[in-house]
Amino acid sequence: MRPDEVAQMFSQIAQRYDRANHILSFQRDRAWRRTLVQQAAPKPGERLLDLCTGTGDVAIEFARACPKLQIVGLDLSEEMLRVAHEKLAQLSLDHRVQLVQGNALELPFAESSFEIVTIAFGLRNLSDRTRGLKEIYRVLSTEGRAFIVEFSLPQSSLVRLVYLPYLRYIVPIVGGMVSGSRAPYEYLRDSIEGFPDRAQILEELYEVGFRPVGYRDLTLGIATLYWGEKE
Ligand SMILES: C[S@@+](CC[C@H](N)C(=O)[O-])C[C@H]1O[C@@H](n2cnc3c(N)ncnc32)[C@H](O)[C@@H]1O
């Protein structure tokens, strides 16, 4: 899908995106974002870019955890950013996070602009993953850290036995009911099944120049947190 088509799909479901997420993940998405913040271990004064920030949950989690962190959230969808802005204002965190409408494949930032770049459930949606990873690398400062959270297939065949029917049949139905549109959840299912395995993602990070790279499974491997450092 082209970036504008992806953004349009998210704009359609923006108002109900959070609720569908929490229901479909049994609230685990909140814990995954907290783990992301712990793993990133931001320090006061550092600059953080959250790509595909959507409704802003990752940026909000970082703003809460680290008062002196400078945070920019970028997304292509105006509607998702509108929801993010409303949430930040309600939490009185709007002065902490700068929201930018833009394309993760052509970042409007100079080289070495950030110490941390995060992208949660966004890499899967990029039409050119290598280009996205190269852009992350470019805007990171030396020794800067990238963190990616993405859905994955469980490594245990026993867990897959339960998870795959859930992903294939339940997710599109429940996602459609909660969000009012089934197509994005069929896309979610297909893009999770089509996403490369952990070894491939680590290899792609390495190819772009990240050293060292690593990952840890979240909730039985239905999501994975990857990281890489700019040498
Ligand atoms: C599944 S949502 C993830 C939102 C958020 N990070 C979270 O954890 O809930 C994916 C987001 O990526 C955005 N997106 C997709 N392609 C993009 C691109 N090329 N550049 C910027 N944002 C993009 C979509 O608009 C959408 O808001």
pLDDT of 1:
82
pLDDT of 84:
98
18 CA: nearest ligand 1 atom: 9
Q: Which residues contact 224 (CB under 8 A, 6 or more apart)?
A: 149, 150, 151, 152, 198, 201, 215, 216, 217, 218
Cα 176 to ligand 1 centroid, rounded to whole Å? 18
Place of tokens 């995106």: 17
Cα 221 to ligand 1 centroid, rounded to whole Å? 21
> Which residue ranges have their beta carbon within 6 Å of ligand 1?
3, 6-7, 10, 52-54, 57-58, 75-77, 80, 103-105, 120-122, 125-126
Cα 54 to ligand 1 centroid, rounded to whole Å? 5
Ligand 1 probe mutation, 51, 78, 125, most atoms within 8 A of CB: 125
103 CA: nearest ligand 1 atom: 20
Backbone angles phi, psi at 74, to 5 degrees: -120, 140
pLDDT of 90:
97
Backbone angles phi, psi at 77, to 5 degrees: -90, 120
Coarse DSSP helix, strand, coil percentages of the chain, rounded to the nearest 5 percent: 50, 25, 25
Q: What is the Rg, in whole angstroms, of the alpha carbon atoms belonging to the chain?
A: 17
The one-character DSSP state at 125 is: G
How far apart CA 46 and CA 75 sit, in angstroms, is: 21
Cα 158 to ligand 1 centroid, rounded to whole Å? 31
17 CA: nearest ligand 1 atom: 9
Three-state SS at 140: strand
Cα 169 to ligand 1 centroid, rounded to whole Å? 24
Report the chain (231 residues): mean pLDDT per 10 consecutive residues. Answer: 88 91 92 97 97 98 96 97 98 97 98 98 97 98 98 97 96 93 94 97 98 98 98 86
Cα 129 to ligand 1 centroid, rounded to whole Å? 13
9 CA: nearest ligand 1 atom: 25
Neighbours of 75 (CB within 10 A): 25
pLDDT of 36:
98
Which structural domains are found in the chain, ordered by start? 3-154+195-230 (3.40.50.150)
